[in-house]
Chain A
Amino acid sequence: MEIGKPRRVYTVEPIEHPVPQPEPAPEPDRKREEEPAEPVKR
């Protein structure tokens, strides 16, 4: 690509990463996990 002559060199460290970050997976339904097991009927 024709972009002319080099002028200067610098460093870029983006605060926000330019690569789209994948959306976090939905959290498991904790309420359901924490539900106590059905009492065992004897």
Chain B
Amino acid sequence: MTLVAPDYLDPVLGWRAWLVVEQQRKLRLRSLIFPAVWRPDEEFVAECRRRSVLPWRRRSSRHGAPAEQCACGVYAAADLATAVHYLTTPCWQGDGLLRVLGRVALWGDVVEHDRGWRGAQAYPTALYVPFRPQLALLAEEIALGLTDYHVPVQLVETTTRAELVRMLQEAEASVR
């Protein structure tokens, strides 16, 4: 048996956006691109689903995720503004109830990119529920439901992306 020492002992921390969906009357985080639900208290394990989006090539890839030469893996952005952009991008798999942002820990094999990472295993470490004043009640319900993940959940009332970025940067700075 060959033992290989890991390169790092602390998980990579990045930003990402999720869709919030209802599943069996519980609120759950779901990836934006693939219909993959993140279960509370369980690490999310990446798999290469690149072929599964093409209906005529519906079979799984033969490599573990993330592969350097593929696009698979759990994505996280180094920059908050990149993740914020995904709060409003079109979503192939339905819109869910709301989109949320969060800090995500990545570990296992990690592919480092210019502005983020792709990881093998992941779990949120903090969740932020941005909302406009008219959606306050829905946002509160969603924040409450997301406490199932046992990580800090914070409501952030905002009307613009720039304001959201500033508020989250301040929230992060106050935690450090």
Contact = CB atoms under 8 A, between A and B. Distances in A.
A30 interface: no
A4 B107 contact: no
B75 A18 contact: no
A12 B77 contact: no
Interface in A1-42: 1-15, 18-20, 22
Contact of B110 (A1, A5, A11, A19): A11
Nearest to A5: B114
A18 B107 contact: yes
B116 A3 contact: yes
A19 to B, nearest CB: 5
B113 A19 contact: no
Interface string B88-124: 0000000000000000011111111111111100010
Interface stretch (B4-12, B22-30, B128-136): B4-12
B151 interface: yes
12 contacts: A3-B77, A3-B113, A3-B117, A11-B4, A11-B8, A11-B109, A12-B7, A12-B11, A12-B106, A14-B105, A22-B41, A22-B150
Interface of B: 4, 6-12, 16, 41-43, 68, 75-78, 82-83, 86, 105-119, 123, 125, 149-151
